[in-house]
Amino acid sequence: MKVLAMVGSLRKGSYNKLALRAAIELKPAGMEIITAEIGDLPLYNDDVREAGYPPPVQRLREQVRAADALLFVTPEYNYSVPGVLKNTIDWCSRPPDQPLDGKPAAIMGASTGKLGTARAQYHLRQICVFVNVLPLNRPEVMLAGAAKLFDADGRLNDEPTRKFIGDLLVSLEAWTSKLQKK
């Protein structure tokens, strides 16, 4: 199973990038997780789209189309989804052949705050409704107090959190298989 991960943070030392690194380590056998490069996407502009998708956007749309499922790993900026992730979704949600349509997905996120990206994840779920991405309902993985969950080398060392992430990926695998059978 091929999963395309999109991390909503461009920061080099992002806790969300570290959470994705843990997910890659904890993925079930037979699952491949590929990270989408979203930092080079231009800001969405429909005039640009009508002239033809720029090469970085075309690359991303092809990656989404080729993936069996998506994994969104998002921080929370100002109580919502980071602009870079929203921009990514905007580019992938446009015609022709909208590659997000009907794609299974899982959502997780890390934050130094106490709510662990809850508001961003709920906003992302609202966006998924409109673009017809089919997010897994549970488990919900919201890493609160992220600074305390990773060691000095960036390894996720909190065992309950490692289990949550592993369970999320097993559930994503089952959800994707269920949807592919329909």
DSSP 22-39: HHHHHPPTT-EEEEPP-T
Closest by Cα among 36, 47, 39, 31 to 10: 39
Q: What is the per-residue pLDDT across 84-113, written as a single tens digit (0 to 9) for each?
A: 999 999 999 998 899 999 999 999 999 999
pLDDT at 152: 94
Average pLDDT score, the chain: 97
Residue 64's pLDDT is: 98
pLDDT at 96: 86
Computed over its alpha carbons, how large is the radius of gyration of the chain?
16
pLDDT exceeds 90 at position 170? yes
Q: What DSSP assignment string belongs to 133-168?
A: -EE--S--EEE-SGGGTB-TTS-B--HHHHHHHHHH
- Percent of the chain at pLDDT > 70 equals 100
pLDDT digits (tens, 9 = 90+) for 41-77: 999 999 999 999 999 999 999 999 999 999 999 999 9
Q: How much is the average pLDDT of 29-34?
A: 98
pLDDT of residue 95: 87
Contact 149, 157 (CB under 8 A): yes
Q: Is the pLDDT of residue 182 over 80?
A: no
Taking residues 112-119, report their average pLDDT.
94
pTM of the shown model: 0.97
pLDDT at 132 over 80: yes
Helix axes 83-92, 55-66, angle to 10 degrees: 80
List of domains in the chain: 2-181 (3.40.50.360)
